[in-house]
């Protein structure tokens, strides 16, 4: 399935692809959290939904639940499915910088990128900061480096105040003006409004849970609310 990211896409985050029908009224894609699913490749085998899939197999060291062994091999396998329009791989897994030394094979991350492209899937290269929001120069650098390796540079930070959120929005707009395709978000209560506002500044992907009781990141709106807010602001 095609998901070019040339305009904003709202991804419904879930570990259960059977929830896809409940997302259709509001979402443009499903982010399948493979790291939270019991048998993710079996689920992709059985998937007959209408929404394209973003496959994410998030590492434990970046807030997910997937152990290191076989993680990126499973993500590469996911890229072979026609329904999978994109995979999400961590910047640290691609570059080897910032990840635990025993958790990253320096060949696995780049191989996942190449394999996805060979199977006509796009690549979201992501980085998450669960402690805070870096200075503006750090935000610009992360987006630039992620954009060197992926089709979409994704950056999620934790906002502790409005200044953090504003700094992220400024970095978003600057990256877009430089011709990059980015997806940015601020986690936490202080940054929750940025989830709705970032698309105004050019962020191409938003995330919201299908089931509000099973949010995959702090500060997420429910799917219907985020759709309404984004559409109203854009």
Active site residues: 128, 154
- Give the neighbor-by-neighbor strand order of the sheet with 182-187: 182-187, 152-158, 122-128, 84-90, 53-56, 29-33, 9-14, 205-209
3-class DSSP string for 32-77: EEHHHCCCHHHHHHHCCCCCCEEEECCEHHHCCCECCCCHHHHHHH
Q: Is 152 exposed, middle or buried (0-12, 13-18, 19+ CB in 10 A)?
A: buried
Q: Which residue shows structure tokens 């700094």?
A: 167
Reading the block at residue 47, the tokens are 């998937």
């Amino acid at each position: 399935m095609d998901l070019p990211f040339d305009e904003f896409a709202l991804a419904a985050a879930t570990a259960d692809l059977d929830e896809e029908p409940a997302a259709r009224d509001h979402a443009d894609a499903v982010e399948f959290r493979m790291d939270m699913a019991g048998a993710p490749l079996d689920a992709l085998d059985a998937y007959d939904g209408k929404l394209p899939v973003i496959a994410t197999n998030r590492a434990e060291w970046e807030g997910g639940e997937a152990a290191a062994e076989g993680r990126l091999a499973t993500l590469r396998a996911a890229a072979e499915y026609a329904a999978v329009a994109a995979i999400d791989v961590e910047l640290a897994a691609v570059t080897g910088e910032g990840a635990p030394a025993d958790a990253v094979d320096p060949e696995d991350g780049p191989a996942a990128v190449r394999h996805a492209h060979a199977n006509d899937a796009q690549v979201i290269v992501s980085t998450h900061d669960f402690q805070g929001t870096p200075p503006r120069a750090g935000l610009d650098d992360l987006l630039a480096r992620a954009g060197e390796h992926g089709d979409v540079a994704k950056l999620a930070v934790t906002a502790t105040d409005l200044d953090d959120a504003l700094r992220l929005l400024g970095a978003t707009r600057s990256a877009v003006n430089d011709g990059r395709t980015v997806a940015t978000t601020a986690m936490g209560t202080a940054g929750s409004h940025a989830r709705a506002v970032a698309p105004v500044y050019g962020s191409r992907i938003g995330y919201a849970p299908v089931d509000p009781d099973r949010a995959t990141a702090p500060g997420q709106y429910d799917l219907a609310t985020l759709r309404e807010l984004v559409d109203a602001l854009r």
